[in-house]
């Protein structure tokens, strides 16, 4: 009996020591990964826009008095399409502003700090873009000139600046238009007018990418520049 009590005492003592030991140990701290707050910026994939089926190559019955020229610079095709709609609507000629060194998709990647457009944006001295041609045949014969461009950082894409600087707009009605995903016309038209220092510059208009021919025709009609050939 004494041996049993002695054995029981040893057993209880051991259990007590084990319990105390367990209580004295702290649980291992949980590992916590550092919070990451990454901001992902992705550029929209831009594709060249083919001429729309809405475009009517036949000149409309209404035309602008005098000769009309549609000048444009287009980086990805949106402005080119709108320029075509305008020319079809007014029966005008088209002149494309083309840089000697065309902008590639990499050049136009505004998310890359080292891309061409970013370097030119950060250093205005780099914005003088050499053009394949800035001379329009029979320039003096045009009474009305539409000038189209994409919006870059709130202003006209700078290849247009080279064309403006090379031509005299005296005696011409000049109508700017632009294309963009979301940016408005802003002061782009006003800045071009100031650079030209000549011409009667009208208020411009911004078209979204993928504007329809009917939208362009409606805008041209609202300019009140048209004369109806059938009324002559």
Interval 62-86 mean pLDDT? 89
pLDDT of residue 19: 41
pLDDT tens-digit map of 159-201? 999 999 999 999 999 999 999 887 788 899 999 999 999 999 9
Are β-strands 142-152 and 93-96 bridged in parallel, bridged antiparallel, or unpaired? unpaired
Q: Give the separation between CA 124 and CA 166, rounded to whole angstroms.
A: 18
The contacts of residue 45 (CB under 8 Å, 6+ apart) are none
Return the SS3 of 123. coil
| C-alpha distances in Å from residue 172, one per residue of 53, 143, 194, 221 | 32, 5, 15, 19
pTM above 0.85, yes or no: no
pLDDT of residue 46: 31
Q: Give the separation between CA 231 and CA 160, rounded to whole angstroms.
A: 37
Q: Which domains does the chain have, with CATH numbers?
A: 64-231 (3.40.50.360)
């Amino acid at each position: 009996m004494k041996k049993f009590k002695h054995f029981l005492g040893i057993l209880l003592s051991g259990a007590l020591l084990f319990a105390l030991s367990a209580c004295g140990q702290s649980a291992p701290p949980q590992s916590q990964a550092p919070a990451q707050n990454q901001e992902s910026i992705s550029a929209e994939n831009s594709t060249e826009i083919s001429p729309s089926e809405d475009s009517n190559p036949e000149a409309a019955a209404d035309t602008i008095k005098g000769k009309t020229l549609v000048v444009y610079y287009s980086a990805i095709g949106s402005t080119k399409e709108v320029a075509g709609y305008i020319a079809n609507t007014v029966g005008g000629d088209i002149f494309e502003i083309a840089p000697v060194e065309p902008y590639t998709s990499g050049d136009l990647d505004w998310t890359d700090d080292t891309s061409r457009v970013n370097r030119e944006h950060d250093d205005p001295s780099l914005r003088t873009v050499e053009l394949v041609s800035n001379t329009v045949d029979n320039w003096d014969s045009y009474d009305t000139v539409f000038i189209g461009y994409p919006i870059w950082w709130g202003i006209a894409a700078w290849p247009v600046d080279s064309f403006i600087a090379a031509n005299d707009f005296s005696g011409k009605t000049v109508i700017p238009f632009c294309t963009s995903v979301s940016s408005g016309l802003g002061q782009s038209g006003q800045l071009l007018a100031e650079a030209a220092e000549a011409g009667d510059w009208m208020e411009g208009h911004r078209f979204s990418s993928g504007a329809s021919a009917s939208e362009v025709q409606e805008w041209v009609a609202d300019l009140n520049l048209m004369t109806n050939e059938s009324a002559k």
